[in-house]
Chain A
Amino acid sequence: MTKKKGLLDFVAETTFIHILFSIILGFAVGAVFLAVMGLSIGEAYGRLVSSVTSLKGFTYVVVYSVPYIVAGLSVAFSFKTGVFNIGAEGQFVMGSIAAACVGILFGNLPKILLIPMCFAAAMAAGALWGIIVAFLKTKWGINEVLSMIMFNWIAFYLSNFIAGIPAIHSDGNAEATKNISSNASMLFSKEFTKSAGLAPTFNWGFIIAIVITILVWLVIEKTTLGYELKAVGANRHAAEYGGINVNRSILTALAISGALAGLAGSLQLMGMGNRISVFSSQEGFGFAGIVVALMGCSNPFGVLIAGVFYGALIYGGSKLNLVGAPTQLINVIVGTVVFFISISVIFRNLKYLKKTKATGTKSGEAAK
Chain B
Amino acid sequence: MTNFINELGIVLYATLVYTTPLLYAALGSCFSEVSGVVNIGIEGMMTAGAFTGTVIAYFTGNPWIGFLCGGLAGALFGMLHALATVKLGADQTIAGTAINMLGPGIVIMIAKVMFNSTDTVPLTATQKIPKLFTGLFDTSTVFGRFMDNVFATYASTYLVFLAVLVVWFVFYKTRFGLRLRACGEHPQACETLGINVIAMRFGCVCISGFLSGLGGACVTMAISTQFRPISIVGQGFIAIAAVIFGKFRPHGALLGCLLFGFCSGLKVVLGGSSGVNMQLISMIPYVVTVLVLILFVGKSRVPSANGKPYIKSK
Binding site for B on A (CB under 8 A): 2-3, 6-7, 10, 33, 37, 84, 86, 136, 140-143, 145-147, 149-151, 153-154, 157-158, 160-161, 164, 280-282, 287, 290-291, 294, 326, 328-332, 334-336, 338-339, 341-343, 345-346, 349, 353, 356-357, 362-364, 366-368
Inter-subunit contact B313/A154 (CB<8 Å): no
Q: Smallest CB–CB gap between B126 and chain A, Å? A: 30
Please, which residue of chain B has its CB at the minimum distance from the CB of A288? B101
Q: Are B89 and A335 in contact (CB under 8 A)?
A: no
Q: List 10 tightest A-B contacts by C-beta distance, closest first.
A: A331-B105, A335-B101, A335-B102, A3-B307, A339-B98, A141-B299, A161-B279, A342-B94, A338-B98, A342-B95
Complex CA–CA separation, A267 to B105 (angstroms)? 27
**Please, which residues of chain A bring their CB within 8 A of the CB of B40?**
86, 145
Asked if B240 lies at the interface with its beta carbon under 8 angstroms from chain A, I say yes
A345 near B90 with CB under 8 A, answer yes
Q: B106 touching A332 by the CB < 8 A rule?
A: yes
Q: State the Cβ distance, B44 to closest chain A Cβ, in Å.
A: 8
In-complex Cβ contact of B306 among A3, A147, A164 (8 A): A3
B243 closest partner in A (C-beta) = A146
Contact among A7, A33, A345 for B89, CB-based, below 8 A:
A345
A276–B144 alpha-carbon span in the complex (Å): 47
Nearest Cβ on chain A to B37's Cβ, whole angstroms: 11
Return the chain A residue nearest B106 by Cβ: A332
Instruction: List, in ascending order, chain B residues with CB within 8 A of A280's CB.
Output: 230
A231 to B98, CA, bound (A): 28
Contact B94 A160 (CB under 8 A): no
Q: Does B287 interact with chain A (Cβ within 8 Å)?
A: yes
Given the known interface contacts A164-B279, A328-B108, the answer about A146 and B95 at a Cβ–Cβ threshold of 8 Å is: no
Give Cα distance in the complex from A335 to B293, angstroms. 33
Q: Which residues on A sit within 8 Å (CB–CB) of B100?
A: 287, 335
Task: Sample 13 A-B pairs with CB under 8 A, ordered by A number.
Answer: A7-B93, A146-B293, A157-B286, A160-B279, A160-B282, A161-B277, A161-B283, A164-B279, A328-B109, A332-B101, A336-B98, A345-B89, A367-B309
- Quick one: given A157-B280, A338-B97, are A343 and B88 in contact (CB under 8 Å)? yes
The answer for the CA separation of A153 and B234 in the assembled complex, in Å, is 9
Q: Which residues of A contact B38 (CB under 8 A)?
A: 3
**Residue from the list B230, B237, B240, B293 in contact with A281, Cβ < 8 A:** B230
Interface centre among B97, B112, B310 (most CB of A within 10 A): B97
Q: A3-B38, A153-B234 are in contact. Are A10 and B89 (CB under 8 A)?
A: no
The one of B101, B287, B294 that contacts A142, using a Cβ cutoff of 8 Å: B294
CB distance from A280 to the nearest CB of B (A): 6
Nearest CB in chain A: distance from B114 CB, A: 10
The docked-state distance in angstroms from the alpha carbon of A368 to that of B89 is 12
Give Cα A335–Cα B237 distance, bound, in whole angstroms. 18
B185 interface hit (Cβ, 8 Å): no
CA gap between A361 and B32 in the complex, in Å: 31
Contact of A367 among B188, B237, B282, B287 (CB under 8 A): B188
Residues on A with C-beta less than 8 A from B85 are 342
A242 to B314, CA, bound (A): 36
Please pick, from B244, B290, B308, the residue contacting A3 in the complex, using a CB distance under 8 A: B308
Contact of B112 among A7, A154, A328, A357 (CB under 8 A): A328
A322 to B240, CA, bound (A): 39
Closest residue to A337 on the B side, CB-wise?
B98
Are A367 and B187 in contact, CB atoms less than 8 angstroms apart? yes
Chain A residues contacting B104 (CB-CB under 8 Å) are 328, 331
Within the complex, which residue of B90, B97, B105, B238 is in contact with A290, where a contact is CB–CB below 8 Å?
A: B97
8 additional A-B residue pairs with CB within 8 Å, beyond A336-B102, A339-B102: A291-B97, A326-B112, A328-B106, A341-B98, A342-B97, A349-B311, A366-B311, A367-B187
Q: Which chain B residue lies CB-closest to A142?
A: B293
Contact B286 A10 (CB under 8 A): no
B245 CB within 8 Å of chain A? yes
Q: Are A149 and B300 in contact (CB under 8 A)?
A: no
Chain B contacts for A84, CB-based, 8 A: 93
**CB-nearest residue of chain A relative to B295?**
A140
Tell me if B241 is interfacial: C-beta within 8 Å of chain A: yes
B7 at the interface (CB under 8 A from A): no
Residues from chain B with a CB closer than 8 A to the CB of A329 are 105, 109
- Bound: A349/B85 CA distance, A: 13
Q: Please tell me if the beta carbons of A140 and B240 are within 8 angstroms of each other in the complex.
A: no
Chain B residues near A353 (CB-CB < 8 A)? 314
Q: Which residues of chain A are near B105, meaning CB under 8 Å?
A: 328-332, 334-335
B108 to chain A, nearest CB (A): 5
